[in-house]
Amino acid sequence: MTETSLPTRDEIAPEHTWNAPSVFPSPEDWESEFNDVVASLPSLKALQGHLADGPSKLADALDVFDRITRRTGKVFIYAAMSHYVDTTDQEATERYSKVQGLYGQILAAMAFLDPELLSLGEEKLQGWIDSEPRLAIYTHYIGNLFRKQAHVRSPEVEELLGMVSDPFLGASTTARMLTDSDLQFEPATAQDGNLVPVSPVTLEKILAGPDREARRTAWENYADAHLTFKNTLASNLITSIKQNVFQMRARRHASTLEAALFDWNIPTDVFHNMIDTFRKHIPTWHRYWAIRRKAIGVDTLHTYDIWAPLTGERAHITFEQAVEWICDGLAPMGEDYTNIMRQGCLKDRWVDIYPNQGKSAGAFSYGAPGTLPFIMMSCNNDIYSFSTLAHELGHSMHSYLTWKHQPTVYCQYSLFLAEVASNFHQAMVRAHLLEREDDPNLHIQVIEEAMDNLHRYFFIMPTLARFELETHQRIERGEGLNADAMIEIMADLISEGYGSEMHLDRQRDGIMWATFSHLYRDYYVYQYATGISGAHALANGILAGKGDAVRAYLEFLKAGSSDYPLDILRGAGVDLTTPRAVEETFGVLAGLVDKLEDLVG
């Protein structure tokens, strides 16, 4: 389906869209709640200076924080989802802009909380927790707060840091609006001479198609459009990096990496272990490139060949069939688990299913306590859409169970844990299909999808993480950075991963950083690699029938942020402070390469 043939938003059947009325019946109801939340801000400020009035008063104050946080979450989700499903909707864009501003105001209004709690002292607060039952849930929060004490600033500085959160969103918003809405791409040229429109929504399908000329011209034109704006995109990302450096220095951390990992109590060794293990196993990728090159019958493999189909006949998988296969694959988790997913997908409208004009590229799970765990995707009824749904349902089930079992203060689980749940779903469902289905053609497609996912998580994301570290360190050292330097850094890193089996186009491959909005979330990308590692380790335990593995995994999903991420994972049976889980997942990758070699000869 091309961009020009995509339906407009109002042409999508309501049953195929996310359940917006479950959050607010209408935009007018959203507006009313938005205004009420804004009007409630003085009630937050009125609490300033009174947290020391006693344990009961503190509990009352935290209840106010809790209520406003939940209300703000619903307001934010409605505005954001409405915008993402149709970026051409100017009213939705305006609501999203307003709610981003509100978010900054909320952070500023709440900024006094942590400094005032710290001023009470850990011993006194612990005594209050023991005497006031309503404070018991904050035990981990308070303990973590005193762990971070050296990096919490005065109320005035904390208020200022809260206030800058809104304008600091400008760099990522500008990048997304440029790449999703304003950037124009030359059409691809198919082998028969027909033109094929290129956009962030259509690119993935073209690259996964059999027409090599269409793949080549689509990939080149997509990269060239970003290269045309390389200086603007570079300046934007450099601004974001400088913002990260500012935040790091404002909170007195030694590096941006340390600052990003510190909030979740993750040692920097976890990051470096992942990078070192990835580099050790790069030859596995070289072997895969060689097998893929021979399988598709070309002399030289190019980047646009990475997603080329290895079979002529492609499985047609409807959304409804995908839901059933996913539920079958997750059957070891129990009927309660699968029934929740089935109900969410087929009746409660968790999922905004199909593409439409103006819909943001990609897919994600999004929600807040008090809403459904929504999913935005663009289903193409193929193996990749099936896998995407499984992935996002992993996030949504994580959110669903966390929100059900945790108070608001622990409902925002870390990104470090998020990618475990999503990749766990994919690992379980792939294993089920490879075990149950006998069709070699389907086996190849399942492995293709798995390699596509592993390529993203275990090749692109570690490569982006290395790029991110290098660019941040240059800014930290006060060195210059520009578009050409960033392209060269990326090209060198990709060259190492491609080896002699892949052709490198230094400019077009090197601009890859500009196509990933993930880089606007500081040190986010490495967590894809650690996440998929934890996921495969947990899935392997359940598939092997390891005693208590299912219960331990469900407890992991319910934990939210009630403990530190590494400790939550340890409770489920995975220790990411060592390379073992990463090594185990590279073993899965190598096994898939072996099986693919057998299937394609």
> Residue 141: which residues within 8 A CB-CB, separation 6 or more?
409, 410
Please state, in angstroms and rounded to a whole number, the distance separating the CA atoms of residues 64 and 53.
15
Rounded mean pLDDT, 101-121:
89
**594, two tokens:** 């072996």
Whether pLDDT at 2 is above 70: no
Give the pLDDT score at 498: 96
pLDDT exceeds cutoff 90 at 347: yes
Angle, CA 226 vertex, CA 225 and CA 232 arms, to 5°: 120
Tokens of 168: 């600091």
Q: Is residue 180's pLDDT more than 80?
A: no
Contact status, residue 189 vs residue 206, Cβ threshold 8 Å: no
Report whether 529 contacts 274 (CB < 8 A): yes
Output the pLDDT for position 187.
95
Of 371, 357, 369, 363, residue with least CA distance to 322: 363
pLDDT in tens, 203-246: 988 998 999 999 999 999 999 999 999 999 999 999 999 999 99
CA distance linking residue 596 with residue 601, whole number of Å: 8
493 is written with which tokens? 């890193």
Q: How far apart are CA 519 and CA 465, in angstroms?
A: 9
Give the confidence band of 265 by pLDDT, cuts at 50, 70, 90: very high
Where helices occur in 265-353 by DSSP H, the ranges are 268-280, 282-296, 319-329, 335-346
Residue found by looking up tokens 């850990």 in the block: 122
Strand partners, 502: 301
Tell me: pLDDT of 201 over 80. no
Mean pLDDT of 11-33: 97
Q: For residue 503, which of 494, 515, 512, 513 has the smallest C-alpha distance?
A: 494
Contact between 396 and 47 (Cβ < 8 Å): no
What would the mean pLDDT of 575-601 be, rounded to a whole number?
92
In 3D space, the residue among 513, 244, 359 whose CA is nearest the CA of residue 6 turns out to be 359
For 51: left if phi > 0, alpha if psi spans -120 to 50, otherwise beta; the answer is: alpha
% of the chain residues with pLDDT over 90: 82
How far CA 542 is from CA of 342, 538, 551, in Å, comes to 21, 7, 10
Over the chain, what is the mean pLDDT? 93
Cα gap 235→238, rounded to integer Å: 5
Supply the residues annotated as catalytic.
392
Q: Is the pLDDT reported for residue 3 higher than 60?
A: no
Report the 10 Å Cβ neighbour count for 512.
20
Render pLDDT for 542-551 as a digit per residue (tens, 0 to 9).
Answer: 999 988 999 9
Burial class of 558 by CB neighbour count within 10 A (0 to 12, 13 to 18, 19+): middle
> Other CB atoms closer than 10 Å to residue 5's CB: what's the count?
10
CA distances from 504 to 195, 300, 496, 509 (A): 26, 10, 10, 7
Could you tell me where the beta strands, DSSP code E, fall in 371-414?
A: 374-376
pLDDT interval class at 116 (50, 70, 90): very high
Residue 179 reports pLDDT greater than 90: no
What would the mean pLDDT of 451-464 be, rounded to a whole number?
95
**In this predicted structure, what is the pLDDT of residue 108?**
85
Q: Does 420 have pLDDT greater than 90?
A: yes
Q: Band of the pLDDT at 1, cuts 50, 70, 90? A: very low
**Helix locations, 13-89, DSSP H:** 27-45, 55-84
Report whether pLDDT(461) > 80.
yes
Enumerate the β-bridge partners of residue 375.
351, 365
CB 44 within 8 A of CB 64: yes
| Fold classification of 9-168 (topology level) | Butyryl-CoA Dehydrogenase, subunit A; domain 3 (1.20.140)
If you search the block for the tokens 């997603």, which residue do you land on?
307
**Cα 407 to Cα 276: distance, rounded to the nearest angstrom:** 38
| 4 has a pLDDT exceeding 60 | no
Please give the distance of CA 282 from its chain centroid, rounded to a whole number: 24
Identify the weakest region by mean pLDDT among 359-363, 392-396, 530-534.
359-363
d(CA 393, CA 249): 38
pLDDT, tens only, 277-329: 999 999 999 999 999 999 999 999 999 999 999 988 888 999 999 999 999 99
pLDDT above 60 for 487: yes
DSSP β-ladder status, 374-376 and 351-352: parallel
Q: Quick one: CA torsion of 200, 514, 398, 271, rounded to 10 degrees? A: 150
Average pLDDT over residues 388-410: 97
Question: Bridge-partner residues for 509, per DSSP?
Answer: none
Angle at 189 between CA 183 and CA 190, to 5 degrees: 135
- Give per-residue pLDDT as tens, 153-171: 887 888 877 778 777 777 8
